[in-house]
Amino acid sequence: MSRIVGIDLGTTNSLIAYVDEKSGLPRVIPDRDGNVLLPSVVSFSGDGVLVGAAARRQLVRRPAATVYSVKRLMGRGYDDVKEELRYLPFKVLPGEGIVKIAIGSREITPPEVSAIVLRSLKERAEAHFGEPIAKAVVTVPAYFNDGQRQATKDAGRIAGLDVVRILNEPTAASLAYGLQRIHEGVVAVYDLGGGTFDISILRVKEGVFEVLATNGNTHLGGDDFDRAIVLWLLDDIRTRHGADLGSDPEALQELRLAAEAAKIRLSADDRTTLTIPFDAFTYHREITRAELDGLIEQLVDSTLLPCRMALADAGLAPADIDEVVLVGGSTRVPLVRRRVHELFGKAPHSQLNPDEVVALGAAVQARILAGGITNMLLLDVTPLSLGIETLGGIVSVLIPRNTTIPTHAREMFTTSVDGQRVVDMHVVQGERELAKDCRSLARFELSGVDPMPAGMPKIEVVFLIDANGILQVTATELRTGKAAAIEVRPAYGLSEADVERMVEESFTYAEADVEARLLIEARNEADIVITHVERALRQGEALVGDDERQTIGAALEALRRARATEDRELIREATTAMNRATEHLAEVMMDAALKAALASRRADRVLEK
């Protein structure tokens, strides 16, 4: 049996999972340190590329060269995303069809950035299994359009993965729950992640998972919660300190990371405190959960309209829903859970880790495709309507949104001009009435039509969507038998040649890339240690003797010299030596800090504790 893994390529974090053959249950694969989440962050430098937690640490130090939330740019044009670019510290440029990210003099596409994340997950799985991994099921938001799905497939290909199925995230979550607890009924899957929101309504019966309707917003998620907090903090800093930090990329990243951390803490606590040191002042304030709710209430409420639309498309009322499942890290926010409870009239389930459940479901689908699970069947839907542009720029829909796939549809058309020999076929996707307001998927020509009066030719157009959501369109003039066909591959910016080049480069430079990454990680760790030791020496100079200061100074100088070399083992050895040399300094500084903290509190408060 060919091994297929399941991947959740997320806005904030990404994961990779498989189904354990002994237990039959899906499991997430951790890295060598036991972390299952891989931050979807990539940082570029002249030395190479960092990914994950190491890249995330570069957000404040090198914001213009560190890319995050790239999922929101996948398969998108400049006009699609220009409103939110002012919030991103890295430079985004118009490309041919899609945006490109400028890192210094280099331009890179969103699929290439996502491929770096996917490649890291692939390496994690290969280390776990001790064998090459070549096939994967990759999840996407249910409301991703054709271009965004194709961009995701291209990212997998660049990473050296054959993406055997693109799976909707809410559907994946239902599969994970289905394997462990859901046996029958109508299920609503509410999926609020870092950058996207989806709602899917499914019917589960005798192992068949049938998606009835889906809806959502590919530009709404936890990132927007963080942004609302940051804008609020910027106003507060202007009022209290007279400082405008809105144009300082490093300060904005400090605030964004602090806002994210505060949001997470307020999911469990009623209040939390922020302390952020800036060059000119230290910002300190308390935030309550009620204040957070006020900042994000409008955003949370905006998820409810897609829920109502999905229910309407499925022909159901909230009372018809048997179970509600929460997916995505942002569903930990108490206000989100309250609003979902109020809408559906029942407490939502979150027994499975909302960060992991999509990856677990992808692993289940991977196992089904590999033949390891035979008692489950998934019937998904196409999220957006598909049609043909007709006379006057009007869209004639052949496959409405929320049609179960695989599916096919056919419709008869004719010509509008006497003697017309060539018919231009324009395939579009979207819910608007005019083609100019929908997404153009493909154009092709039906030529060789016999010249006849307008309205005489009979042109049959057939749409066929397979289980992967790939669309094939055929047009045939029935009187003459002349036919033309196209497999719709959205022309969103990356050509077949582009993808092939990127794949070849990933193999050509694979070993050098790994070495470069390891060197960067060693240097970054050294930089952090140097910064902390220098600060500790300034603050704790009186706490240690001359001999110890000289020992620490010598180790510090040795680490600086090693840092300047290309020898990562030498850098790591010098870093370890530096840590050993400062163990006593760290202990006495901790003791001094505890004594100072205790001395500043009233004796009765101490006794109470």
* Geometric angle at alpha carbon 210, from 205 and 215, rounded to 5°: 135
The partner residues of 276 in beta bridges, in order of sequence, read: 283
Q: For residues 525 and 508, what is the distance between their CA atoms, to the nearest angstrom?
A: 28
Contacts of 589 (CB under 8 A, 6+ apart): 536, 539, 540, 543
Residue pair 253/63 in contact by the 8 Å Cβ criterion: yes
Whether residue 111 is preceded by a cis peptide bond, meaning omega within 30 degrees of 0, is: no
User: 66: closest CA among 85, 101, 41?
Assistant: 41
Catalytic residue among 112, 154, 191, 323: 191
Q: For residues 45 and 520, what is the distance between their CA atoms, to the nearest angstrom?
A: 9
Query: Taking the chain, what is the end-to-end CA distance rounded to the nearest angstrom?
Result: 60
Q: Decide if 191 is catalytic.
A: yes
* Geometric angle at alpha carbon 21, from 20 and 22, rounded to 5°: 95
The length of the chain in residues reads: 609
Q: For residues 116 and 248, what is the distance between their CA atoms, to the nearest angstrom?
A: 28
Q: Decide if 71 is catalytic.
A: yes
Helix axis angle, 496-508 to 110-129, nearest 10°: 40
Number of neighbours of residue 137 by Cβ within 10 angstroms? 28
Catalytic residue among 31, 123, 146, 169: 169
**152 φ, ψ to 5°?**
-65, -40
User: 469: closest CA among 515, 425, 429, 414?
Assistant: 429
Contacts of 265 (CB under 8 A, 6+ apart): 272
Please identify which residue in the block is written with the tokens 């010598």.
554
Catalytic residue among 71, 122, 263, 482: 71
Given its phi and psi angles, is residue 65 left (phi above 0), alpha (psi -120 to 50 degrees) or beta?
alpha
Chain-centre distance for alpha carbon 541:
46
Q: Which two tokens stand for residue 187?
A: 């299920």
Q: For residues 180 and 364, what is the distance between their CA atoms, to the nearest angstrom?
A: 11
**90 φ, ψ to 5°?**
-95, 160
Q: For residues 420 and 446, what is the distance between their CA atoms, to the nearest angstrom?
A: 11
Q: Active-site residues: which are they?
A: 8, 71, 169, 191
